[in-house]
Amino acid sequence: MKHQYVSDMKPGDAVDDVFVLAEKNLAQKKDGDSYLTVALADKTGSIGGVVWDDVERIATAADSGDFVQVTARVTEYRGNLQATVRSMAKCSPESVDPGDFLPVTRHDVDHLFERLVQMTDGLEDPSIQALLRAFWDDRDFVSAFKRAPAAKMMHHAYVGGLLEHCLSMAVLADNMAHHYSGINRDLLLAGAILHDIGKVREFDYHTNIDYSDEGRLVGHIVIGLKMIDEKLADIDGFPEELAVLLKHLVISHHGALEFGSPEPPKTIEALLLHYIDEIDSKVNGVREFMATQDPGEAWTAYHRVLGRHFYKGKTDDDR
């Protein structure tokens, strides 16, 4: 049974436990000798590691994605924890509990999915309803949709995260469609639900969350458009303009080319969808970050991606 988790590690700890080998890279020092850098992961996070001794044997002992038994010592390097690995050996998948290695949503995914289906059943546009029903009737898709993460690291980066993210966005979209006049509510909700569907294939989430080959080479926007086109091909009489507007929502939801969208939002629905995505992903990402911080501190550590500390508030002892 696993007893040491990444989130509990501190400098000086001796490590002897099973992890997922999330990454490994062989490199050379200035003197020509080889060394190995690795990333070791479990459901609480990941830690970078380095192998200085017996490099060739350890490098060939396991592949990325394997479960590995590791002995190491935790140190600190450039402000981050690092594991100096002394030994590493591949473990049989049957000998470990997968639940120790993949973070999972706190919510019941079946309940989340039921809520999403109920929302789509209440749509008024028969064409959009038919498209969404085509996805819900696809058992393989639904199975993957309930398990897929929404990201590798930044937000909803856990099993069930994609479904949780899409439902949250659909609820926000519904509220905004009622707040602003002239909004195509059904189109906006369909965009909230389908904008990231390509992520069911963009990620590999069997032992750890990482990009699939298709995800790295093509990306979830292109994958998602292909999936939508496949469903549209089986729906007679789907309005051509509606199909284009829906695809525009998928294409533009990142907001700008530098963030991965081939086109910026050019309709009110696309603009709303982009900012709904920003709100939900950022709130979840910051909350998950805060949850990893010292509960006794009023401020978080520096968030390198967002470039700031976050204030959590003073504890009762500090008041």
CATH classification of the domain holding 43: 2.40.50.140
Q: Which of 99, 123, 140 is the last residue of a domain?
A: 99
Domain count, the chain: 2
In a domain, residue 316? The reply is: no
Residues 87 and 153 in one domain: no
Residues 59 and 163 in one domain: no
Q: Per-residue confidence of the chain (319 residues) as pLDDT tens digits?
A: 789 999 899 999 999 999 999 899 999 888 888 999 999 999 888 899 999 999 989 999 899 889 999 999 999 988 889 999 999 999 988 888 877 888 889 899 999 999 999 999 999 999 999 999 999 999 999 999 999 999 987 889 888 999 999 999 999 999 999 999 999 999 999 999 999 999 999 998 887 888 999 999 999 999 999 999 999 999 999 999 999 999 999 999 999 999 889 999 999 999 999 999 999 999 999 998 898 888 889 999 898 889 999 999 977 665 5
Q: ∠127-133-135 over CA atoms, to 5°? A: 115
In a domain, residue 270? The reply is: yes
In a domain, residue 27? The reply is: yes
Q: Please list, residue by residue across 258-280, b when 16 or more beta carbons sit within 10 angstroms of its beta carbon and e when fewer do.
A: eeebeeebebebbebbbebbeeb
Residues 162 and 198 in one domain: yes
**Alpha-carbon radius of gyration of the chain:** 22
Task: Give the domain range for residue 41.
Answer: 6-99
Q: Is 154 helix (H, G, I), strand (E, B) or coil?
A: coil
In a domain, residue 304? The reply is: no
Residues 163 and 186 in one domain: yes
CATH of the domain at 280: 1.10.3210
